[in-house]
């Protein structure tokens, strides 16, 4: 009998924060960590700290954050769309959380899950693509380990490719009928010539390939990638080799290549063993 999937106590969402104020109360390492995380967004950072440490002050100066150099007051939270209690002082963090909740502002208290309305994820940033990993505050180290693995798997070109897709979405909707034609175009876009050109740093060629694909409304031509298996240990493959295996529709492999390497491809990929078996 299949095991029932556990219910999430915290539901993951992406909140719009462009131009909105995010308040962080604290002047030490905890506040700096939250500032660095939120600083990856287009929110307006408001940091309340009467005695901010040098590293936090440097971050504020480098990132154009607002620094309120005064003892915390509830009024400092006004207008914020979210707040962080990150002072390291238990009494102050509880006060910030209570003030924020009374004002209807979602609040996160560092290392105090019982005071949190939300939890901050470990973030893989390929803006506008973002992957957030959360453990409901139960295992921050696990979340960071997963973030590191996923970050290594994703090409740095993913963000620019997604931005190019966004610029073409309206045109695709006008030219292609909803359904198979449109799905095929986007599948070929993200897995075909536009993606390969973007991965090579060729932005204009990626755009041209996308336009050609859009106008032709035909399946993209296939391509062959040669992946060396090295000594046969899956953890010694390059990151690009791993990505190519995961993208392949057909994997033609030497019969002596270990199954652990072949299994790194998609489960629905066709596998064709060739060559000697001894």
How is residue 157 annotated by DSSP?
A: T
Q: Is the pLDDT of residue 218 over 60?
A: no
Q: Which domain holds residue 172?
A: 157-215
Assess contact for 188 and 196: CB atoms under 8 A.
Answer: no
Catalytic residue positions?
254, 276
* Residue 221 pLDDT level (bands cut at 50, 70, 90): low
User: CATH number for the domain including 69?
Assistant: 3.40.50.720
Percentage of residues in the chain having pLDDT higher than 70: 95
63-121, pLDDT tens digit by residue?
A: 999 999 999 999 999 999 999 999 999 999 999 999 999 999 999 999 999 999 999 99
Angle at 98 between CA 93 and CA 102, to 5 degrees: 150
Residues 101 and 143 both lie in one domain: no
Among 61, 96, 120, give the residue marking a domain's end: 120
Going by pLDDT thresholds of 50, 70 and 90, the confidence category of residue 249 is: confident
**Are 36 and 90 part of one and the same domain?**
yes
Given this model, what pLDDT does residue 277 score?
A: 65
Do 28 and 116 fall into the same domain?
Answer: yes
User: Which of these three, 71, 96, 120, is where a domain ends?
Assistant: 120
Distances (CA, A) of 78 to 20, 21, 42, 103, 167: 12, 9, 19, 8, 36
Cβ distance 32 to 56 under 8 Å? yes
- Distance separating alpha carbons of residues 253 and 274, to the nearest angstrom: 6
- Residue 14, in any domain of the structure: no
Phi, psi at 274, each rounded to 5°: -135, 170
Q: How many CB atoms lie within 10 A of CB 45?
A: 20
pLDDT of amino acid 136: 86
Q: What is the tally of structural domains in the chain?
A: 4
Does 2 have pLDDT greater than 50? no
The pair of structure tokens assigned to 130 is: 């973002």
């Amino acid at each position: 009998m299949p095991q029932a999937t556990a219910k999430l106590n915290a539901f993951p969402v992406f909140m719009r924060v462009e131009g909105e104020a995010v308040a962080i109360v604290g002047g030490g390492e905890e506040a700096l960590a939250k500032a660095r995380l939120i600083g990856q967004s287009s929110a307006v950072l408001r940091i309340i700290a009467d005695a901010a440490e040098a590293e936090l002050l440097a971050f504020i100066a480098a990132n154009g954050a607002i620094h309120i150099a005064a003892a915390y007051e509830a009024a400092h939270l006004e207008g914020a769309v979210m707040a962080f209690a990150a002072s390291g002082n238990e009494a102050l963090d509880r006060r910030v959380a209570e003030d924020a909740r009374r004002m209807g502002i979602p609040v996160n208290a560092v290392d105090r899950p019982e005071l949190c309305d939300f939890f901050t994820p470990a973030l893989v940033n390929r803006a506008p693509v973002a992957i957030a990993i959360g453990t409901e505050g139960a295992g921050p180290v696990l979340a960071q380990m997963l973030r590191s693995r996923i970050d290594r798997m994703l090409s740095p070109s993913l963000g620019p490719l997604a931005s190019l897709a966004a610029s073409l979405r309206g045109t695709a909707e006008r030219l292609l009928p909803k359904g198979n034609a449109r799905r095929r175009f986007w599948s070929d876009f993200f897995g075909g010539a536009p993606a390969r050109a973007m991965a090579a740093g060729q932005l204009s060629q990626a755009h041209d390939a996308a336009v050609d694909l859009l106008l032709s409304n035909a399946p993209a031509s296939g391509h062959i990638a040669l992946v060396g298996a090295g000594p046969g240990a899956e953890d010694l493959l390059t990151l690009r080799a791993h990505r190519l295996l995961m993208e392949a529709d057909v994997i033609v492999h030497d019969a002596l290549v270990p199954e652990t390497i072949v299994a790194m491809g998609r489960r629905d990929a066709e596998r064709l063993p060739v060559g000697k078996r001894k």
